[in-house]
Structure formats: C-alpha cells, structure tokens
Amino acid sequence: MASVIIMTGAAPQAKAGDVATGGALPAGATPADTVQPVCELSVNQNTVSVNQYVLVNAWLSPAVTAQRAVKTYIFTITAPDGTKTIWNQDTENATAATWFDYTLTMPGTYTFACSFTGCYFNGTSAANSAYYMPAVAKSVNITCQQNMISSWPAAQIPNGYWTRPVDFGLREWWPILGNYPDYYNGNTNGIPLLKRPSQQSLAK
C-alpha cells in the first residue's frame, strides 16, 4: 500500500484590510469580480539523478494586485513506489506564484501535480472584492536515474592573454573580470549588451 506524507508550508499573508480566504467561496460572500484563472506548473529539469533536486514553480494567470497573496495551492508528488507527498502552500504577494526545491531519492518516474483550491478577497477601498475560482495544472513527469548527471562543467581560468567580451557561460572567470558584466559595453554577435549611462543622460 502506498504511504502518504502530508506537510503544511508557512505562507505569506495579505496586507491588513484585504483578507484572503482559500477554498470555496465563503457563505454569504458576493464578490464584485469572479475570475477563472489558469494554473501552471513547471519543473526545471526532466531528468535528474538520485539525490539531486529540482526547482518547482506554480503560478496563476492572471496574477493579483500587489497587496494580495493567493491561498491555497495543493501539491502532490508521487514517487516511483507510489508514495505520495502532499502539502499546501500560499504565494508571495502580487505574482500569484510560489516555488520550492524538491529532492528525488529513488530511481524511476516522479509525477508532480498542483491544484488551486480557489481564493476569495474581501476587497479594500483600492481594490474590489474578488473570487479566483479553482483550477488544476497539467501534471509533470520527471525521470530520476541512478547514474549521476553532471552539472554545468567548470571553465578553466585562462593562463594567457584574453579579450572582452567574455562569454557569460564562463562563470569561473569572475575573479578576474572586476565588476563585469555590470555596465559592460561590448557586443555579442553584434548585439549591444550593457552600457554605462553618460553624465549628460543622468542629468536629464
């Protein structure tokens, strides 16, 4: 029989005066606006090795106002042996987005699922009351393999002359690049990158 692990995550709170209630529309509440959002789920890699982690993101479209944090997403992660890890998590303000790292511990296929339970905002003088209806994201399958998957290979520091521009992929070069790429004035395939503003333009 598959086991189930249930966790509850800490959540950011909406600012005072605009209370968010997750789940079904509260009895007696009549929202000024009703929104049917789209729930999206993303996992940053489709193949990892045992004991590596993935970054999981979920969000709603459209998002909400800057003073509002959305309640509640329910995440379900099913491991290859059928074990389910389930917990709920709220979002940061404004973006209606949330994220977390998750470590895969056994070879096989993991399934990530996310559902949004709905959320009611009672409204303020600056924003109407609103009800965001429930939505379900498309599930994502991730393969976990026994063999180690190497991370981005390290770049060797040059031992001779080198010139700018330097490829952004050469991350290990940062000790010899000063404040690069901040205000870097160069070209990559003819496309300007960053350019320090002149004193004249700043004066404007």
Cα(105)–Cα(14) distance, integer angstroms: 35
Q: What is the pLDDT of residue 5?
A: 53
Please say if the pLDDT value at position 111 is more than 80. Answer: yes
Q: How confident is the model at residue 135 (pLDDT cuts 50, 70, 90)?
A: very high
Please say if the pLDDT value at position 201 is more than 50. Answer: no
- Which residues, at least 6 apart from 56, have a Cβ–Cβ distance to it below 8 Å? 41, 42, 43, 44, 75, 99, 100, 101, 102, 112
The answer to whether residues 145 and 70 touch, using CB atoms and an 8 Å cutoff, is no
Domains of the chain: 4-145 (2.60.40.1930), 152-204 (no CATH)
Q: What is the pLDDT of residue 155?
A: 87
What tokens does 36 get?
Answer: 């049917």
pLDDT tens-digit map of 44-94: 989 999 999 999 999 999 999 888 899 999 999 999 999 999 999 999 889
Please say if the pLDDT value at position 32 is more than 70. Answer: yes
Q: What is the mean pLDDT of the chain?
A: 82
Tokens 């389910």 locate to 84
CB atoms within 10 A of CB 162: 12
Q: What is the pLDDT of residue 174?
A: 79
Please say if the pLDDT value at position 181 is more than 60. Answer: no
pLDDT top residue among 130 and 182: 130
Q: How confident is the model at residue 166 (pLDDT cuts 50, 70, 90)?
A: confident
